[in-house]
C-alpha cells in the first residue's frame, strides 16, 4: 500500500454508469470490445455491415475471424444477411439515434446478435445479445469500452491490463493549446497506441475517470442539443434522424445529410472539426449504394455536452 508523496489527480467515485462485475467486461477500446463480444458467442464467423469503421473489420481479420458482409437500405435495414447457426451478426446503432425498441426488433431476427452501441453509450442493453459501448466518444477519457451480456466477464482474467496514462496528455493539452497542432499530434499517438493493443482490460486511469463522471448532465445536454439542431436543419436535411428516435436516445452526433461536396471543407475552414465517416467506402462501394451516399455526404454535427445553442447557430450559419 502506497501512502504519502505527491497528490495525484482525483475524481469523485461511485458514479460509473455501468456497474457490477457480472455480465460486464471493461476493456480498452470499442474494437477490442466487439472482438471480445464475438468470442463470447462461440461463433465461427461474423457478419458485418459494409457501413462501419474499417478498424472493426481489420480487428476481426487480424485476429483470424471469418468475416462476411451485408448492406443496408435507405431505412438502415440490413439487406439479406444469412447467418448460419454458428454465425453472429453485428447490428449498429448509427449516430446513436436508434431507439432500444428498434435495436431489440433487429436483434430478434438473429440467433447471435451483437449490438454495436459505440455511438450510443447510454442505450439500454438488448437482452439476450452482447452489447458494446465506447466511452471516449461521450466522455473525456483516453480509451475504454464495455461489453454487456450473458457471461461477458468470461475470458477477462486472461487479458493484460492496459496503461493509458502514457498517451493521455492530449486531454490536458487541448485545454491549454486547443485541438490543433500539439494536442492533435498527441491524440494521434494515443490512437496509434490503441491500434497496437489487442484486447486488454480497461486501464485504471480510464476506470477512475468513468467512475467520476456526471452522466446525467451529459445525457441532458446531448438530447437538448440534438433537438435544437433538428429545429435548425430539418428543412435541409435529406436524412430523417427521427425515424427510429425515441426518448431513450442520447445521440453521439446530429447526422446532417446535404448533397454538397464543398460543405465539409467550409465547416473545417470555420474550425468545426468533423469529417465524413468511413470515406474508404467511396473506393469500395458502388456509387449507387446507400453506403456510398452516406459516406460522401453525411456530416456528423457535434452536439456534445461542451456546446449549446450559440455553437449550433454558428454551424447553421456556415451551412
- Residue 70 has phi, psi (to 5 degrees) of -135, 155
The pLDDT value given to residue 104: 98
- Residue 58 has phi, psi (to 5 degrees) of -65, -35
Q: Is 90 exceeded by the pLDDT of residue 242?
A: yes
Q: Is 80 exceeded by the pLDDT of residue 254?
A: yes
Q: Kindly state the cell numbers that stand for 134.
A: 465506447
Model confidence over 42-58: pLDDT tens digits?
A: 999 999 999 999 999 99
Question: Which DSSP state fits 272?
Answer: -
Q: Is 80 exceeded by the pLDDT of residue 163?
A: yes
> How would residue 194 be classed by pLDDT, with cut points 50, 70 and 90?
very high
The CATH topology of domain 215-318 is 3.90.1150
H helices, E strands: number in the chain: 11, 10
Please list, residue by residue across 17-28, b when 16 or more beta carbons sit within 10 angstroms of its beta carbon and e when fewer do. Answer: bbeeeebbbbbb
Mean pLDDT of 255-263: 96
> How would residue 4 be classed by pLDDT, with cut points 50, 70 and 90?
confident
Which class in CATH covers the domain with range 24-210?
A: alpha beta
The pLDDT value given to residue 180: 86
Does residue 189 contact residue 165 with C-beta atoms inside 8 Å? no
Nearest to 298 by CA among 260, 255, 266: 255
Model confidence over 196-212: pLDDT tens digits?
A: 999 999 999 999 999 99
Taken in order 187, 193, 198, 202, is the CA torsion positive or negative? Answer: negative
Q: Please indicate whether residue 130 or residue 80 has the higher confidence score (pLDDT).
A: 130
Residue 132 β-bridge partners: 116, 147
The pLDDT value given to residue 227: 98
CA distance 296 to 119: 19
Mean pLDDT of 73-97: 97
The pLDDT value given to residue 122: 98
> How would residue 288 be classed by pLDDT, with cut points 50, 70 and 90?
very high
Q: Is 80 exceeded by the pLDDT of residue 1?
A: no
Nearest to 292 by CA among 71, 70, 119: 71
Q: Where are the domains of the chain?
A: 24-210, 215-318
pTM, two decimals, is 0.95
How many of the other CB atoms lie within 10 Å of CB of 4? 5
SS3 content of the chain, % helix, strand, coil (to 5): 35, 15, 50
The pLDDT value given to residue 3: 77
Q: Is 80 exceeded by the pLDDT of residue 181?
A: yes
Q: Which residues contact 55 (CB under 8 A, 6 or more apart)?
A: 31, 195
Mean pLDDT of 162-173: 96
CA distance to 24, 37, 125, 127, 134, per residue, from 21 (Å): 6, 16, 16, 17, 18
Note the Cα 279 to chain centre separation in Å: 17
Model confidence over 87-118: pLDDT tens digits?
A: 999 999 999 999 999 999 999 999 999 999 99
Does residue 139 contact residue 213 with C-beta atoms inside 8 Å? yes
Amino acid at each position: 500500500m502506497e501512502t504519502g508523496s505527491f497528490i495525484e489527480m482525483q475524481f469523485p467515485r461511485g458514479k460509473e454508469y455501468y456497474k457490477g462485475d457480472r455480465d460486464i467486461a471493461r476493456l480498452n477500446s470499442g474494437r477490442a470490445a466487439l472482438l471480445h463480444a464475438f468470442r463470447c458467442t462461440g461463433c465461427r464467423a461474423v457478419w458485418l455491415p459494409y457501413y462501419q469503421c474499417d478498424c472493426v473489420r481489420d480487428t476481426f481479420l487480424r485476429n483470424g475471424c471469418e468475416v462476411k458482409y451485408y448492406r443496408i437500405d435507405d431505412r438502415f435495414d440490413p439487406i439479406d444477411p444469412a447467418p448460419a447457426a454458428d454465425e453472429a451478426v453485428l447490428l449498429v446503432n448509427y449516430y446513436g439515434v436508434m431507439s432500444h425498441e428498434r435495436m431489440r426488433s433487429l436483434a430478434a431476427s438473429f440467433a447471435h446478435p451483437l449490438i454495436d452501441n459505440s455511438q450510443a453509450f447510454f442505450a439500454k442493453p438488448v437482452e439476450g445479445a452482447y452489447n458494446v459501448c465506447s466511452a471516449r466518444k461521450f466522455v473525456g477519457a483516453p480509451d475504454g469500452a464495455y461489453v454487456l451480456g450473458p457471461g461477458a466477464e468470461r475470458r477477462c482474467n486472461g487479458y493484460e491490463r492496459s496503461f493509458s496514462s502514457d498517451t493521455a496528455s492530449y486531454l490536458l493539452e487541448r485545454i491549454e493549446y486547443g485541438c490543433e497542432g500539439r494536442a492533435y499530434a498527441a491524440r494521434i499517438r494515443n490512437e496509434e497506441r490503441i491500434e497496437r493493443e489487442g484486447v486488454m482490460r480497461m486501464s485504471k486511469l480510464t476506470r477512475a475517470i468513468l467512475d467520476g463522471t456526471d452522466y446525467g448532465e451529459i445525457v441532458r445536454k446531448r438530447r437538448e442539443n440534438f433537438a435544437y439542431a433538428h429545429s435548425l436543419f430539418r428543412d435541409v436535411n435529406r436524412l430523417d434522424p427521427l425515424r427510429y428516435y425515441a426518448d431513450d436516445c442520447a445521440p453521439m452526433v446530429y447526422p446532417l445529410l446535404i448533397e454538397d461536396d464543398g460543405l465539409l471543407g467550409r465547416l473545417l475552414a470555420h474550425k468545426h472539426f468533423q469529417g465524413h465517416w468511413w470515406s474508404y467506402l467511396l473506393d469500395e462501394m458502388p456509387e449507387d449504394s446507400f453506403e456510398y451516399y452516406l459516406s460522401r455526404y453525411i456530416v456528423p454535427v457535434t452536439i456534445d455536452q461542451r456546446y449549446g445553442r450559440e455553437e449550433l447557430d454558428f454551424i447553421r450559419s456556415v451551412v
